[in-house]
Structure 1
Amino acid sequence: MPHPQDAPRATSRKRSDRMLAVLAMLESGDSVTLKDLTGALGVSPATIRRDLADLEEQRLLVRTHGGARAFASTSRAEVPVRLRDSQFRAAKQRIARRAAELIPTGPYSVAISGGTTTAEVAKVLATRPDLAIVTNALTTAMEIASRPNLKVIMTGGVVRSNSFEAVGVIAENTFNAINVGTAILGTDGISAAGGATTHDETEARTNNAMVSHAQRVVVVADGSKVGRVTLAKMADLSQVHVLVTDTTADPDELARIVAAGVEVLIVDV
């Protein structure tokens, strides 16, 4: 298996931050000019053109003469995991540490879905003895597979290029064949109305299989995900026991989630 450092990721954190900033400028649906982008981001036109070419290849925007415009609903598009790795990083690390505290000591089994926040949880758990970790996320498996103190179980399945997650019937069959103490679930949105949701319906079915065979479900989501509803439901709120988020989350939405019976843990950012 490749070393964790070989996992697919953005060329650099600085570049991924810049590309996320480009997408943010397109959230209103308007076009932006090359002059606007170079002025706002403080880089050369050649650098911006390379970024725009990459983002267009991923169908996240459309290049125009002298700039770019949003591709369909870019503001609600699924940002590839290699860019998400640097987004809200400090909050995700604190959320991960708090979520890891919920895992009891001693022999225990944990399922971990794909996502950048769940990957941070896996990093925290990597030093724990006697853990069995089941995951369908290639990046997470590569991060922890070299740890002799862990038993790492990787599902099969079809790998999604945006998230590096194995999904589909093979992955679902793996989750259906086992039982775990806790499932750590990443999400693109969590709300009282929509439950825990994601952008891809096949990924949602796979994660629902994981959730259905866990004694406890912990959702980890930075504040930007709270109150957001995306395409496909992974879990009803009735299936979620704990939400770990941060202080940027909408307090009114958190109150509605608590009223639905979910324990909410909030970390400072």
Structure 2
Amino acid sequence: MSKQERWSKLLELLAVEGKLDVEEAAASVEVSAATIRRDLDELAEQRLLVRTRGGAIAHGVSYELPLRYKSSRRASEKQRIAGAVADMLGVGEVIGLNGGTTTTEVARALVLRVGAGQTEAGDGLSGPLYTVVTNALNIAGELAVRPQFKIVVTGGVARPQTYELVGPLTAGVLNEVVLDVAVLGVDGIDPQLGVMTHHEDEAGISRLFAERARKVILATDSSKMGKRAFARICSLDRIDVVVTDSGIAPDMVTRLTEAGIEVVAV
């Protein structure tokens, strides 16, 4: 197991348990306790956890792990969600994608959809099958080399934690485009407060994506349901569809449905 894989596993365990014990972590990852101690020291230096005697604790429930360390968390759920979202996106549509692990999976699912020959309806179209507008550098990088996609990158200042571009330059581009669908990854969905994320600059850009779109789809796993984060994106009345996994609580499905939102659990 590489160091990056080991770190991802440790951060997954920390996200679940809220704390880590060196000996237990060593047994789980199948390396020596000395290796785990070094790993925890290095992760603490990057402010991904707080070192304690004998282990480590999480910074807090709202602490945002950098994208590269979050990508393996709930991976199977995110892939199922992404596949369901991709099936909702039509050939020829202009699609907005904000940054995040789930929206990255949506982009990959679209690539697979094209590769699997599921877009025969687009054979009569000249040019790309999809236009994707994104403020996520990693999504743009993955799609830009594929001729089936026209990629519009917003510009802006890059956030290293999520590869998202934010700021006035980002807003300036979004204010000049019209989207058929916006697919948003979020950090919290609350029946009263609406849709939220950890950072106010990202919230403002995601809000613009929603405002510029005819249809808004939330792509998020069930762990975000009922959770609150620092910055509000929009109220639930701006959302058309929530695509999540089967772990969503029945009462949350009811509340979202009562708010006029179609809920798809995969």
TM-score range, shorter chain: 0.7 to 0.9
TM-score, scaled to structure 2:
0.88
Residue by residue over 1:81-100, the C-alpha shift from the partner in whole angstroms, topping out at 9 and shown as x without a partner, is 11111111111111111111
- Aligned equivalents of 2:42 and 2:187: distance in 1? 22
Q: Return the offset for 1:245.
A: 0.5
Q: Of residues 112, 133, 139 in structure 1, which corresponds to 2:97?
A: 112
1:37 aligned partner = 25
- 3-state secondary structure, aligned to 1:233: strand
Q: Return the offset for 1:197.
A: 0.8
1:205 aligned partner = 204
Q: Return the offset for 1:160.
A: 1.1
**Number of equivalent positions:** 251
1:121 aligned partner = 106
1:90 aligned partner = 76
Q: Return the offset for 1:224.
A: 0.8
Q: Percent identity?
A: 38
Residue by residue over 1:140-160, the C-alpha shift from the partner in whole angstroms, topping out at 9 and shown as x without a partner, is 111111001110011111111
2:261 aligned partner = 262
Residue by residue over 1:93-123, the C-alpha shift from the partner in whole angstroms, topping out at 9 and shown as x without a partner, is 1111111111123x22000010111111111
- Aligned equivalents of 1:233 and 1:143: distance in 2? 29
Q: Return the offset for 1:11.
A: 5.7
- Aligned equivalents of 2:195 and 2:235: distance in 1? 6
Alignment check: 8 A CA contact 2:206 2:233 kept:
yes
- Aligned equivalents of 2:30 and 2:90: distance in 1? 47
Q: CA RMSD in A?
A: 1.9
- Aligned equivalents of 1:18 and 1:69: distance in 2? 11
Residue by residue over 1:51-76, the C-alpha shift from the partner in whole angstroms, topping out at 9 and shown as x without a partner, is 313321332322234322343x2x22
1:156 aligned partner = 155
Long gaps (5+) in structure 1: 1-9
2:227 aligned partner = 228
Alignment check: 8 A CA contact 2:14 2:57 kept:
no
- Aligned equivalents of 1:249 and 1:54: distance in 2? 35
1:3 aligned partner = none
2:25 partner letter = L
1:4 aligned partner = none
2:122 aligned partner = none
Long gaps (5+) in structure 2: 120-127
1:84 partner letter = K
